[in-house]
């Protein structure tokens, strides 16, 4: 979580986001509870877009995360559908 004190105090919000993406993180959690900031999510999105625009991150890197997340979602949706079908057969 980007706003945990151990991360926020040491790295700062933007540096933590950049470091996480560089390290291969696909999903960034912004809990936004320690110190509420209604713009935290929008700020993160804008910052990531700026990193791509400045060439610090590539669109390909963002797309890799998107593809992994999509595959995982499809896997669980498929498993849920199969589970629902099995449950319906038992009725």
Tens digits of residue pLDDT in 4-56:
777 778 888 899 999 999 999 999 988 776 778 889 899 999 999 999 999 99
Give the per-residue pLDDT at 8: 74
Tell me if 13 sits within 8 A of 42, measured CB to CB.
no
User: Structural domain of residue 78, as residue ranges?
Assistant: 5-90
pLDDT over threshold 90, residue 57:
yes
What are the distances in angstroms from CA 74 to CA 1, 59, 64? Answer: 24, 22, 15
pLDDT over threshold 60, residue 1:
no
Which band of pLDDT confidence, cut at 50, 70 and 90, is reported for residue 91?
low
Number of independent structural domains in the chain: 1
Q: DSSP string covering 38-81, please?
A: TTHHHHHHHHHHHHHHTTSS-HHHHHHHHHHHHHHHHHHHHHHH
Which band of pLDDT confidence, cut at 50, 70 and 90, is reported for residue 65?
very high
Q: Please, which residues have CB within 8 angstroms of residue 22's CB and are 6 or more apart in sequence?
A: 57
pLDDT over threshold 70, residue 90:
no
For the residues 59-65, what does the mean pLDDT come to?
A: 96
Tell me if 1 sits within 8 A of 7, measured CB to CB.
yes
């Amino acid at each position: 979580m980007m706003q945990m004190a151990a991360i926020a105090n040491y790295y700062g919000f933007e540096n933590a986001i950049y470091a996480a993406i560089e390290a291969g993180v696909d999903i960034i959690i912004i809990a936004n509870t320690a110190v509420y900031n209604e713009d935290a999510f929008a700020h993160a999105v804008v910052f990531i877009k700026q990193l791509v625009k400045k060439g610090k991150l590539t669109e390909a890197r963002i797309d890799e995360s998107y593809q992994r997340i999509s595959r995982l979602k499809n896997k669980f949706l498929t498993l849920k559908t199969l589970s629902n079908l099995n449950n319906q057969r038992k009725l």
